[in-house]
Structure 1
Amino acid sequence: MNELKQRLAALGLSEEQVDGAIKTVAEFVKSKLPPEYQGMVDTLMAGETPDLSALGGGLL
């Protein structure tokens, strides 16, 4: 997450703009996912590793 923030800041965005851009992208991505996967986006945005076992449909 820090790398993304640094890259956006390097484009000249303020810290407030960076945070807003990241939030907007996260909300957009979540809107395109089924509800059961939306929590993974929140987990990633928090800098954590989500449980990806559900992506395999229980095959893993």
Structure 2
Amino acid sequence: MDEVVKLVSKKAGITEDQARIAVQVVANVLKDRMPEGLASQVDVYLKGNGGKNDLGDIGGKLGGMFGKK
């Protein structure tokens, strides 16, 4: 998660503590809205145990979840 937190901090111009809270909030919202199998992968990815391609087509699935196809 540290890599994501640093990226959010840099891009948003906020402290790492603020970015960590933001990442946790977004991760929890996503996990609440995803099917169980995908939700567990969010934690795997944020803990650094997942590679760039480990989430498969998650972008497409998330887009569909939020109304984009």
Per the normalisation by structure 2, the TM-score is 0.57
Q: After the TM superposition, which residues 1-60 of structure 1 pair with which residues of structure 2 at under 5 Å, given as runs?
A: 1=1, 2=3, 4-10=4-10, 11-49=12-50
Letter in 1 for 2:39: Q
Larger-gyration structure (1/2): 1
Letter in 2 for 1:9: S
Number of residue pairs the alignment of both structures matches: 51
Percent of aligned pairs sharing the same letter: 27
Per the normalisation by structure 1, the TM-score is 0.64
CA RMSD of superposed structures (Å): 2.2
Unaligned runs of 5+ in 2: 56-69
Unaligned runs of 5+ in 1: 53-60
In structure 2, the residue matched to 1:55 is none
